[in-house]
């Protein structure tokens, strides 16, 4: 709840006129308790989990030929029942784990200094904070994910996420409830280190979930904007991790690839890519310009 009764009071306190964004924020949140502002996260996560993977899922089910040139594992076809089962299980964890966690975590958010007041952050401040959050989360996620591939962690917890050897967008948060809690820790460390405005916190949570959905989409589109982000892994990078399966000791990174490179956990992937490139070149020489190797598509459109 903002400590100003009117726009004039807010402008007097800041010593300037409010920007259009700040005016909109004032009108929306001035009389709203801070905890209700924070609980918007629950709505955002529900909408993202439900709607973001849906368009590609519908296209894959209804018009598979339209996207098959970009499918990373073209031999695998998921049924509508498989998509629905995945979504249902994700929603079960959302209702019984993610939702209650969000409801009970407001005191911690308040304690670390995430604010709801004015002024709103500048674009440069927001960009810097988001960069820190992605880097911190990526590093923490790398090590938790890597530990999950130990014998105990995989057998007891992480094997559920790997039920989808050819991942789909809905499977991004498809995991054991304990894994959902553990992997949520690195997502909060960044905002705890560098506290932000609640709007940036919302944006951070939304972007991280959208990134995970894109990474698990099972498609490698050449026009994806994330391809222009330095060291970004993407769908093709993470798809290999699922393709190898439970014995995978490669490509643990959630967003970027630098940890796998620094710690040598991308060697299998790089060897695989080199073999694919060699086989692809041989097939092109033989006149077969559209095909697949070891289940991965390598047709001309997906290059």
Q: What are phi and psi of 184, to 5 degrees?
A: -80, -20
pLDDT reported for residue 290 = 54
pLDDT band at 289 (very low <50, low <70, confident <90, very high): low
Closest among 77, 72, 83 to 169, alpha carbons compared: 83
pLDDT band at 300 (very low <50, low <70, confident <90, very high): very low
Residues 99 and 295: their CA atoms lie apart, in Å, by 38
Measured CA distances, 160 to 103, 155, 227 (Å):
26, 9, 29
Q: Between 126 and 282, where is the model more confident?
A: 126
pLDDT band at 245 (very low <50, low <70, confident <90, very high): confident
Q: What residue ranges do the domains of the chain occupy? A: 32-286
Q: Determine contact, residues 83/170, Cβ cutoff 8 Å.
A: yes
Considering 144-153, 238-247, 271-280, the range whose residues carry the highest mean pLDDT is 144-153
pLDDT reported for residue 299 = 40
Question: pTM of the prediction?
Answer: 0.90
> Is the confidence at residue 152, as pLDDT, over 70?
yes
Distance from the Cα of residue 72 to its chain's centroid? 18
236-249 mean pLDDT: 87
> Is the confidence at residue 285, as pLDDT, over 70?
yes
86-91 mean pLDDT: 97
Residue with tokens 């559920």: 160
Residues 232 and 238: their CA atoms lie apart, in Å, by 11
Provide, rounded to the nearest whole percent, the portion of the chain with pLDDT above 70.
94
pLDDT digits (tens, 9 = 90+) for 158-217: 999 999 999 999 999 999 999 999 999 999 999 999 999 999 999 999 999 999 999 999
pLDDT reported for residue 215 = 96
pLDDT digits (tens, 9 = 90+) for 22-45: 999 999 999 999 999 999 999 999
User: What tokens does 124 get?
Assistant: 């440069």
């Amino acid at each position: 709840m903002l400590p100003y009764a009117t726009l004039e009071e807010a402008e007097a306190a800041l010593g300037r006129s409010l920007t259009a964004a700040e005016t909109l924020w004032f009108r929306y949140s001035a009389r709203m308790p801070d905890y209700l502002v924070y609980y918007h996260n629950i709505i955002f996560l529900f909408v993202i989990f439900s709607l973001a993977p849906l368009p590609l899922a519908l296209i894959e089910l209804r018009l598979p030929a339209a996207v098959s040139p970009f499918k990373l594992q073209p031999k695998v076809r998921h049924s509508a029942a498989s998509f629905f089962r995945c979504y249902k299980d994700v929603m079960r964890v959302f209702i019984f784990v993610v939702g209650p966690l969000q409801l009970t975590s407001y005191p911690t958010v308040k304690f670390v200094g995430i604010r709801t007041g004015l002024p709103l952050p500048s674009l440069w401040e927001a960009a810097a904070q988001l960069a820190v959050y992605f880097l911190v989360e990526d590093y923490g996620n790398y090590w938790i994910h890597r530990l999950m591939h130990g014998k105990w962690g995989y057998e007891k917890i992480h094997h559920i996420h790997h039920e989808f050897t050819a991942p789909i967008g809905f499977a991004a948060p498809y995991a054991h409830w304990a894994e959902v809690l553990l992997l949520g820790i690195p997502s909060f460390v960044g905002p705890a280190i560098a506290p932000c405005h609640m709007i940036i916190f919302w944006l951070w949570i939304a972007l991280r979930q959208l990134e995970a959905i894109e990474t698990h989409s099972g498609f490698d589109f050449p026009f994806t904007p994330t391809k222009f982000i330095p060291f970004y892994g993407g769908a093709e990078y993470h798809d290999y991790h699922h393709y190898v399966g439970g014995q995978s000791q490669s490509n643990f990174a959630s967003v970027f690839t630098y940890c796998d490179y620094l710690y040598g956990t991308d060697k299998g992937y790089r060897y695989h890519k080199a073999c694919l490139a060699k086989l692809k070149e041989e097939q092109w020489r033989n006149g077969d310009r559209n095909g697949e190797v070891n289940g991965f598509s390598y047709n001309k459109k997906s290059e």
